[in-house]
Amino acid sequence: MDLGKERAAMVERQLRRRGIGDSRVLAAMGEVPREAFVPEAQKRNAYADSALPLSHGQTISQPLMVAMSVEALQLEGHETVLEIGAGSGYQAAVLSKLAKKVYAIEIIPELVQHARHALDSLGIDNVELICADGRKGWPEGAPYDGIVVAAAAEEVPSALVDQLQEGGRLVIPVGGKWGQSLQTLRKRGDKLETEELCRCVFVPLVYGS
Ligand code: SAH
């Protein structure tokens, strides 16, 4: 099995042909080996057009969802970004190619450990992984040019809006357990411009202590 070929095919069939147009996003996802982030038993499915199971009932998002979320941030390479729900670390690895500095928060310690190992093994050194409740954001790294949330929220956590730079974008699945709307919110003074990207199903954000 040639995973490099499968990765290229994933970029072409699952992303480009379905409307992902940002060449930097396509290049980043053509570069990051998804197989380094999925559990051993799932390696042969690494380029499946679906979410894949991680431990602790969590999932690594479908490639198209990762591409849509990171594309919506409209990154150029000089930004500081925050990811909530780092899971396997795959999306953080993709973001590491698109922004200058990435803070990635994950609430489950074992997943943080695995993600850290995977990122280290690829020599990715601009991602800071943090084990914490991401609903509070991460004030230490704020303000952020972009924030991407990889778990569903009933309501947009206000801390995330507070930690967003003026003009910055927050991408977040908003809604209940069974389905959400993936939204981009752009901070303009006191206002938030909201755009709906698509319907989606993410695992819920859990409440930390
Ligand atoms: N972006 C991930 C997919 C994540 S799935 C990837 O590329 O693999 C959503 C993740 O959000 C899960 O790992 C879950 O543990 C985490 N999560 C849920 N609630 C959270 C919270 N309050 N703070 C931080 N992480 C949270």
pLDDT digits (tens, 9 = 90+) for 62-100: 999 999 999 999 999 999 999 999 999 999 999 999 999
Residue nearest atom 26 in ligand 1 by C-alpha distance: 85
Stretch 1-13: mean pLDDT, rounded? 95
Rounded to the nearest angstrom, the distance between the alpha carbon of 137 and the centre of ligand 1 is: 13
Rounded to the nearest angstrom, the distance between the alpha carbon of 152 and the centre of ligand 1 is: 9
Per-residue confidence (pLDDT) for residue 105, from 0 to 100: 98
Angstrom distance (rounded) from CA 13 to CA 46: 15
Higher model confidence: residue 209 or residue 93?
93
Residue nearest atom 2 in ligand 1 by C-alpha distance: 87
Instruction: Evaluate if residue 49 carries a pLDDT over 70.
Output: yes
Amino acid letter, 59:
T
Q: Are 11 and 25 in contact (CB under 8 A)?
A: no
Q: Give me the residue spans of the domains in the chain.
A: 3-200
Roughly what angle, to the nearest 10 degrees, separates helices 90-98 and 63-72? 40
Probe residue for ligand 1, chosen from 50, 66, 68, 107 as the CB with the greatest number of ligand atoms within 8 Å: 107
Q: For 129-177, write each residue's pLDDT tens digit.
A: 999 999 999 999 999 999 999 999 999 999 999 999 999 999 999 999 9
- List, in order, residues 6 or more apart from 99 with CB less than 8 Å away: 73, 75, 77, 78, 79, 80, 81, 126, 145, 146
Atom of ligand 1 nearest to the CA of 135: 22
Rounded to the nearest angstrom, the distance between the alpha carbon of 205 and the centre of ligand 1 is: 7
Q: For 107-128, write each residue's pLDDT tens digit.
A: 999 999 999 999 999 999 999 9
Per-residue confidence (pLDDT) for residue 209, from 0 to 100: 63
- List, in order, residues 6 or more apart from 41 with CB less than 8 Å away: none
Q: Kindly list the protein residues whose Cβ atom lies closer than 6 A to any atom of ligand 1.
A: 58-61, 84-88, 90-91, 105-108, 111, 133-135, 150-151, 203, 205-206, 208
Could you tell me the pLDDT band of residue 41, with boundaries at 50, 70 and 90?
A: very high
**CATH hierarchy code of domain 3-200:** 3.40.50.150
Per-residue confidence (pLDDT) for residue 81, from 0 to 100: 98
Probe residue for ligand 1, chosen from 98, 171, 205 as the CB with the greatest number of ligand atoms within 8 Å: 205
Rounded to the nearest angstrom, the distance between the alpha carbon of 21 and the centre of ligand 1 is: 26
